[in-house]
Structure 1
Amino acid sequence: MADLDTTAPASGTAPSGRSSLRERTRAAMRAEVSDVAFRLFAERGFDNTTVEQIAAAAGLSRTTFFRYFGTKEELVLGRVSEFGRQVADALAARPAEERPWDALRRAFDVIAEPQTGEPGPPMDMIRLLSDACALMTRHWEKTQGWQSMLAPEISRRLGGPDPAIDMRANALAAAAISCLDAATDAWTAGGGATSMPDLVDQAMGILRESDDVPG
């Protein structure tokens, strides 16, 4: 991989087309470095993989690595945010007549369903987060950020007020995320013996049975 320098010119304003190309180049480079890093994490473990090793494997200098990622942890947590956006997109795409709790459950398929065959990237992420204890607090903070992505669509389905003050939508989104967290914890503790979709069904089913969630 070439050691690209995508910094902006020292003066002047680049045309919008050039700026767009630079942004696409930066996004592509970040994705490529991320893929290299996750391969190394899988081989050596998160804690045993250094920034220098990631940069060398990606064909970058250490300095150039830090143009794309502020820290090694950002590689992982950035993907957590990406998964949140994927869940939010999946939720918005669910049938309009589907009840909110059911729509949330099906939106989580973008994370859960790869576990029906070979583990997919989201499940690799769960393993990584479980092995890298230092990331867990920040991972929790990131997943709580999913709530702000999911609540507006839930509020719309409930016919609620401003999503920012719709307690029902925020409570449902937070509860669903907690169910997903419980399912992933159980999946990790059990060594993946039970399929992730079944565990998410069980976790979300507990709340459906114990409380009258609008599912």
Structure 2
Amino acid sequence: MIDKSAGIDESADEAPQTRIERLLTSLKAQGIADERLLHALEYTPRDLFVPDLFLDRSWEDSAIPINCGQTISQPYIVALMTQALKLEGRHRVLEIGTGSGYQTAILSRLVRYVYTIERYRSLMVEAETRHKRLMLENIIYRFGDGWEGWPEQAPFDRILVTAALPEEPLPLLAQLKNNGIMVGPQGRGSVQRLLRYTRKDDSYLTEDLGEVRFVPLIAGVAKEA
């Protein structure tokens, strides 16, 4: 991911609440103004979602590597993408790429249901375990190909893609309700843009939200050792 801030320098002896408050202050300064979102970020313990090796960096505004060559996104990017969805409490949201489950947990605090798809079974199982610890009960999981979406549960009010699409994702856009919104990165290699699509009948309004860097969205399910 491309950090949109100078980063947050944490001290080992600093109280966790102080780190959280400093992160929230940084996010507000970068334009994150949705109070419901800020509350969800405050009460979702990011340290539960990062590997033990990186626990001291849990509340930094930076991406952190996790298993299977994936990452837990920078909090600013999580907040930016979530805010861009314009979520309402009654919404049903499709998430492509569960990963650590951190973004999923944030979404679950803001909407009615989250349908999340992950191509690595081990990541999905670990994320579900974390969500159970947090007593998040409005998340439905699928081990499968994110490219295909979840047509049996479509249409969705919102779709969030957490890996870079190489091209316009027409199969996913087709699973949006009219006036629904999809947010996700698009591009190859280091040339990626965060795009917001809004469905208008059979056409889509596209907005460029800036430069980002994500792992690529890969078709199919992963074979793990």
With normalisation by structure 1, the TM-score equals 0.28
Structure with the greater relative contact order (CA < 8 A, sep ≥ 6): 1 or 2? 1
Normalised to the residue count of structure 2, the TM-score between the two structures is 0.27
